[in-house]
Amino acid sequence: MAIDIGDVHKNSKLLINGVPYNVDEMEFMKPGKGRAVYRLRLRSLIDGVGIDMTYHSGDRVEEAPVTTCEMQYLYKEDDQYIFMNSQTFEQHPLSDKAIGDNKYYLKEGVTVTGMMLGDTLIGITPPTFIELTAVQVAVSTKTDTHTAQMKTAVMETGLTVGVPSFVTEGDIIKIDTRTGTYVERTGKKR
């Protein structure tokens, strides 16, 4: 479906030359003379390649027919992550390249939002917060007691996060997946 460029916003999904793109950034410029210009930074939902496009006010673009659904992460096989649609129970693979850094927020059984283009899974959005176990924590050195002491910790998925000095191996840590940062310690692994 064609829409006016003025109706496009950040995170809109567009179809350009048959390839679905996400709008990562959008800039509107009104020159002193002539038509307004929209500059878009787009990222392919298939392979993650970024491109820049420029459109004039009044131009029409094709909206990508992307739908979302609730999915459950099942397992990883070679370079494919396998997800199951929670309503239809169909399994869909997604490549390591398409997952990107979201792989650090996947553990078996976690529920994610899947982006579907037709019957093909093209991307996922992890939950806003996820709890992971710290498997390796750096030793903290106490030098300045007036500021919060941070040290690095490696989570069970391989994610490296800055954590407060009281965190130890085996602690369960709540992580904000939007920023990849520590939120709180929620307990100890049993």
Output the average pLDDT for the chain.
88
Cα–Cα separations (whole angstroms), residue 175 to 74, 104, 122, 178: 20, 10, 24, 9
Beta-bridge mates of residue 124: 114
Q: Which two tokens stand for residue 101?
A: 């850094």
Last residue of a domain, one of 63, 93, 110: 63
* Shared domain check, 47 and 87: no
8 Å CB contact between 148 and 97? no
Q: CA 110, CA 90: separation in Å to the nearest integer? A: 16
Amino acid letter, residue 123: G
Q: Are strands 150-155 and 160-164 parallel, antiparallel or unpaired?
A: antiparallel
In this prediction, residue 122 has a pLDDT band, given cuts at 50, 70 and 90, of confident
* Shared domain check, 140 and 175: yes
**pLDDT for residue 130 is more than 90:** yes
* Shared domain check, 147 and 103: no
CA angle (134, 84, 70) in 5-degree steps: 80
- pLDDT per residue as tens digits for the range 52-77: 999 998 899 999 888 999 999 999 99
Q: Which two tokens stand for residue 122?
A: 């093209």
What confidence score (pLDDT) does residue 143 get?
62
8 Å CB contact between 15 and 60? no
Please give the average per-residue pLDDT across 168-182, as a whole number. Answer: 91
What confidence score (pLDDT) does residue 142 get?
65
What is 100-128 written as a DSSP string? GGGGGG--TT-EEEEEEETTEEEEEE--S
Report the CATH number that the domain containing residue 112 is assigned in CATH: 2.40.50.140
**pLDDT for residue 144 is more than 60:** no
**pLDDT for residue 190 is more than 70:** no
* Shared domain check, 48 and 10: yes
Last residue of a domain, one of 41, 63, 85: 63
Last residue of a domain, one of 75, 110, 125: 125
Report the CATH number that the domain containing residue 33 is assigned in CATH: 2.30.30.30
* Shared domain check, 135 and 110: no
Q: What range does the domain containing 181 cover?
A: 129-188
* Shared domain check, 114 and 159: no
Q: Which two tokens stand for residue 56?
A: 């004039």
* Shared domain check, 54 and 11: yes
What confidence score (pLDDT) does residue 80 get?
92
Please give the average per-residue pLDDT across 168-187, as a whole number. Answer: 91
- pLDDT per residue as tens digits for the range 6-41: 888 888 899 998 888 989 899 999 888 888 899 999
Amino acid letter, residue 38: Y
Q: Are strands 91-95 and 111-117 parallel, antiparallel or unpaired?
A: unpaired
